[in-house]
Amino acid sequence: MAPNLGQQSSARHIPTHHLFNIFGKLHLMFVAGFLLLPQLLAAQWNATVGAESNDLGRQALAFLPNEIWIHTGDSITWTVEATEPHTITFLTDGQIRPPFNVGCPGFSAGSAVFDGSSCITSALLFKDAKITVTFPVAGNFKLDCLLHSDMTGIVHVLDPSQRLPHDQEFYDRLTQTEATALLADRDTTKPKHLHSKNGVAVGGGEVVATGAGTDTLSVMRFSDPVITVHAGDTLEWTNEDSTTTHTVTFGTEPQDLVPPSPNVTVDHDGARHAVLNAPSDSAHSGFLQAAPQDRVGLAQAPPGVTRFRVTFSKPGIYPYICALHDGLGMRGKVVVLP
């Protein structure tokens, strides 16, 4: 119950310095309350980044949910739920997309404020890492991952007078549904785009359109992890993922994974090619990557290099990895019989 000052005594019986104390405290409480009010009203939302299968081989490259409605002053905390790293990035309209290791430029850690006027990005965030972003200004803001080009979302920041369509419980349910659907996606009827009998698909997956952008499923596996050929045969690897880069790497992993190793030549159809004479030999495909999607106003990109061929001249067991995703279990083996 609130104390009634009038009942306790009349003001003239209270010494002046007490009066100052009482009114001083009330004044401070009023000021503090006024300053804290927006924070008390501001909501804290939770969202997730990425999802994966138990064997880590299927990675949902997605903001889950990838569309969220909040009020000005609210914050969203994103937590990474997958072994594959991601960034939480808000670029400004018209800004050129920067490389993930440059930031926008620079990085925010722990928390950031985005009002649309200057970009913010986290560094690569690994499993269980978090970042909280506060949105003080109304607007519709695109969310990006600088590591994965087909992984976007939208945050709708509404004026507090506007009703929000969903609560946290709705987003939690949606996160589960979207993650399960993405990870379960299997196109069993999809033909492998291989034209030689000795072919291995490198990865695979698909880009899924949503009302707020795109989610991607990437399979971080070789289609035939163990394949048997004969000495003199040539095996061909094809990256079947339109968005995720992979490599085929035998022996020593080079420092720079982008270019092929010096012993790799280029066939007439643009595929890269190496000859291995012993299981101890090294050969690195370099980045196997489809050309990026076209868009009006962008310069034309050259055709992507998605194929790597290796001719095995001698029998033996030749282990290899994708140098980008071996940590997720993307490894294979070629058994070369006489």
Which 220-249 positions form the footprint of Cu ion (CB under 5 A)? Answer: 246
- Choose the stretch contacting Cu ion; rule: CB under 5 A; options: 52-60, 104-112, 125-133, 320-328: 320-328
Tell me the closest approach of the beta carbon of residue 322 to Cu ion, in angstroms: 3
Closest among 242, 179, 237, 245 to 206, alpha carbons compared: 242
The site that binds Cu ion (CB under 5 A) totals a number of residues, namely 5
Tell me the closest approach of the beta carbon of residue 321 to Cu ion, in angstroms: 9
Tell me the closest approach of the beta carbon of residue 199 to Cu ion, in angstroms: 17
Interface with Cu ion (CB under 5 A), residue from 123, 320, 325, 336 = 325
Output 88 or 322, the one with its CB closest to Cu ion. Answer: 322
Output 91 or 323, the one with its CB closest to Cu ion. Answer: 323
Task: Sketch the per residue contact string, 6 through 45, with Cu ion: x for CB under 5 A, - otherwise.
Answer: ----------------------------------------
Whether the Cβ atoms of residue 316 and residue 209 lie closer than 8 Å to each other: no
Output 126 or 170, the one with its CB closest to Cu ion. Answer: 126
Task: Sketch the per residue contact string, 268 through 307, with Cu ion: x for CB under 5 A, - otherwise.
Answer: ----------------------------------------
Tell me the closest approach of the beta carbon of residue 297 to Cu ion, in angstroms: 31
Q: Does 58 bind Cu ion (CB under 5 A)?
A: no
What pairing do the DSSP bridges indicate for beta strands 272-276 and 199-202? Answer: unpaired
Q: Does 324 bind Cu ion (CB under 5 A)?
A: yes
Output 38 or 259, the one with its CB closest to Cu ion. Answer: 259
Tell me the closest approach of the beta carbon of residue 238 to Cu ion, in angstroms: 13
Tell me the closest approach of the beta carbon of residue 117 to Cu ion, in angstroms: 37
Tell me the closest approach of the beta carbon of residue 58 to Cu ion, in angstroms: 13
Output 150 or 178, the one with its CB closest to Cu ion. Answer: 150
In angstroms, the CA 70 to CA 137 distance is: 11
Tell me the closest approach of the beta carbon of residue 330 to Cu ion, in angstroms: 5
78 alpha-carbon distance from chain centroid: 11
Q: Does 183 bind Cu ion (CB under 5 A)?
A: no
Interface with Cu ion (CB under 5 A), residue from 182, 200, 310, 322 = 322
What pairing do the DSSP bridges indicate for beta strands 307-312 and 272-276? Answer: parallel
Task: Sketch the per residue contact string, 245 through 264, with Cu ion: x for CB under 5 A, - otherwise.
Answer: -x------------------
Output 108 or 247, the one with its CB closest to Cu ion. Answer: 247
Output 53 or 210, the one with its CB closest to Cu ion. Answer: 53
3-state secondary structure the chain: CCCCHHHHCCHHHCCHHHHHHHHHHHHHHHHHHHHHHHHHHCCEEEEEEEEECCCCCEEEEEEECCEEEEECCCEEEEEECCCCCECCEECCCCCCCCCCCCECCECCCCEEECCCCCCEECCCECCCCEEEEECCCCEEEEEECCCCCCCEEEEEEECCCCCCCCCHHHHHHHHHHHHHHHHHCCCCCCCCCCCCCCEEEECCEEEEEECCEEEEEEECCECCCEEEEECCCEEEEEECCCCCCECCEECCCCCCCCCCCCCCEECCCCCEEEEECCCCCCEECCCEECCCCCCCCCCCCCCCECEEEEEECCCEEEEEECCCCHHHCCEEEEEEEC
What pairing do the DSSP bridges indicate for beta strands 111-113 and 130-134? Answer: parallel
Tell me the closest approach of the beta carbon of residue 289 to Cu ion, in angstroms: 11
Contact positions vs Cu ion (CB under 5 A): 246, 322, 324-325, 330
